Structure 1
Amino acid sequence: MFSSLFSSIIQYFSCFFMHRMDAGKETSVFPLPEPHDLFQASQMKFEDFQKDLMRLRKDLRACTSEVEKVCKVSDEEHLQPFKEKMEEFLSQGNRAKLLQMNNVSLCYLRFLELTTFYSVKPKAGEKEASPNVLFSIWHEFSSDFKELWKKENKTILKERLKAAEESFRQAKEKTSYSVKPKHASGIVSFLQLIQFN
C-alpha cells in the first residue's frame, strides 16, 4: 500500500493522507494552506498594522477638522447636503476603524496563543515570536508536503490506471469470440461446389 521506505516523516504523512483520507482522487484538494499564502503571511508584521491604523485615525481626525471648518464658514442654506453626507461618511469611517482595531488586537492575541500552543520560540533578542518565525516554518512544511502530495497522487492515479487497463484486458480476453472454420454444408457450399465442377 505505502511506498517501501520513507525518506522523511513528511513523506510518510503525505502518503498516509493520500491513502487514508483522499484516496488519490483526480479532484483531490490540497489539505494545507497554500505555500504562497504562508510566505505572504510570514512577511507581515503586527507593528505595520498598528501604524496603518494610527495613520487612519490621524487622517480621520484631519478630515473631521476640515469638515468642521467648512461647516463654520458656509451659509446655512448651502450647508445641509454636504454636512449630512460628511457626518455619515465620518461615522462609517470611525466604525470601520474601530472594527479593524478590534480585529487586529484579536488576531494578535490569537497569534500569541498559537505560538504558545506550538511552542514557537522568538528569535534571539526578541521578546515574542513574530509571524515571520511561525509562518516560515509552516511555509517550508507546506511546500515539502505539497510536492510529496502531488507525487503520491500521481502514483496512485497511475496504479488505478494500470488496474483498470488490466481488468479491461481480462474482460476482453473472456469475451473474445472463437471463430470456427467453415463447414462444407448448406446451400452456399452446394452452389460453390457446382460452380467449380
Structure 2
Amino acid sequence: IFLPRTIAEAFCHILFHISRNLMKQCVFPLPEPQDLFQASQMKFEDFQKDLRKLKKDLKACETEAGKVYQVSSEEHMQPFKENMEQFIVQAKIDQEAEENSLTETHKCFLETTAYFFMKPKLGEKEVSPNVFFSIWHEFSSDFKDFWKKENKLILQERVKEAEEVCRQKKGKSLYKIKPRHDSGIVSIYSNF
C-alpha cells in the first residue's frame, strides 16, 4: 500500500528538481485523477453493446423509411426520401467509423496493458480498464498531492527570494544623497 505513494513522491521530487529552473510555473504533467477514475469505470463490452443497439435501431429506421416510401404518393415523397436516404447513408458511415474507433481503442488498450506487463485476473481473458486505470488513478492522486506540496514549497522559496531582493534594495538608497555645501551668508559666518 505504501509503495505507490513512495514511488509517486519520489517521481514528483525528481520531476520538480529537474524542472525547477526550467519553468516559472509548472503544469501538472499527468492526467487528472478524476479523468483516470472515469476511465476506470468504462467497459468495452458496454460500448460494443451500445453500438450493436445503434446498428439495430438504424436498420429499423431504414425499414420504417421504406414503409413510408411505399405508402406515399410520388408528389409527397420528396424531400423526405432524399433527406432520409442521405441521413441513413451518413449514419451508416458514422456508425462504422465508431465501430472501427472502438476496435482500435480496445487494441491500443490491450497493447498498453501488455507494455506495463499487466496480466488479467484469474478467470478473466484480459485486463479490465477498471484494474488498469484504478492503479493509475491512485498514483496520479498521490502524485498530485505531492505536486501541490512541492509547488507550495517553491512558491515560498520564491517569496523569500523576492523579500531578500527587496531588503537589499531598501538597504541601498535608490537616490544618491550628496553632502550639502554651505553657500551664501551661512558659509561666510562659518569660516570665522
How high is the TM-score relative to the length of structure 2?
A: 0.86
The equivalent residue for 2:88 is 90
Q: Output one character per residue of 1:96-121: Cα deviation in whole Å (capped at 9) or x when no partner.
A: 00000000000011111001000112
Supply the distance in 2 between the matched residues of 1:124 and 1:69 (Cα, whole angstroms): 51
The equivalent residue for 1:195 is none
Q: Cα–Cα, structure 1 residues 26 and 154, in superposed 2: closer, same or farther, change >3 Å?
A: farther
Q: Output one character per residue of 1:154-197: Cα deviation in whole Å (capped at 9) or x when no partner.
A: 101111110121122123213378989989x555758xxxxxxx
Equivalent residue letter for 1:73: V
Supply the distance in 1 between the matched residues of 2:66 and 2:52 (Cα, whole angstroms): 21
Equivalent residue letter for 1:96: D
The equivalent residue for 1:121 is 119
5+ residue gaps, structure 1: 1-6, 191-197
5+ residue gaps, structure 2: 188-192
Supply the distance in 2 between the matched residues of 1:96 and 1:160 (Cα, whole angstroms): 53
Task: Report how many residues are paired.
Answer: 186
Offset, 1:151? 0.7
Q: Cα–Cα, structure 1 residues 123 and 83, in superposed 2: closer, same or farther, change >3 Å?
A: same
Offset, 1:130? 0.3
Supply the distance in 2 between the matched residues of 1:121 and 1:188 (Cα, whole angstroms): 100
Q: Is the 8 A contact 1:14 1:149 kept in 2?
A: yes
The equivalent residue for 2:74 is 76
Q: Cα–Cα, structure 1 residues 177 and 57, in superposed 2: closer, same or farther, change >3 Å?
A: closer
Matches within 5 A, 1:159-178: 159-175=157-173
Supply the distance in 2 between the matched residues of 1:129 and 1:22 (Cα, whole angstroms): 37
The equivalent residue for 1:146 is 144
Q: Cα–Cα, structure 1 residues 179 and 79, in superposed 2: closer, same or farther, change >3 Å?
A: closer
Q: Output one character per residue of 1:83-108: Cα deviation in whole Å (capped at 9) or x when no partner.
A: 00000000111000000000000001
What is the root-mean-square deviation of aligned Cα atoms in Å? Answer: 2.5
Equivalent residue letter for 2:80: F
Q: Output one character per residue of 1:44-69: Cα deviation in whole Å (capped at 9) or x when no partner.
A: 00000000000000000000000000
Supply the distance in 2 between the matched residues of 1:21 and 1:131 (Cα, whole angstroms): 32
Supply the distance in 1 between the matched residues of 2:186 and 2:169 (Cα, whole angstroms): 36
Matches within 5 A, 1:37-116: 37-116=35-114
Q: Which runs of 4+ in 1 moved over 6 A?
A: 176-183
Offset, 1:24? 8.4
Equivalent residue letter for 2:123: G
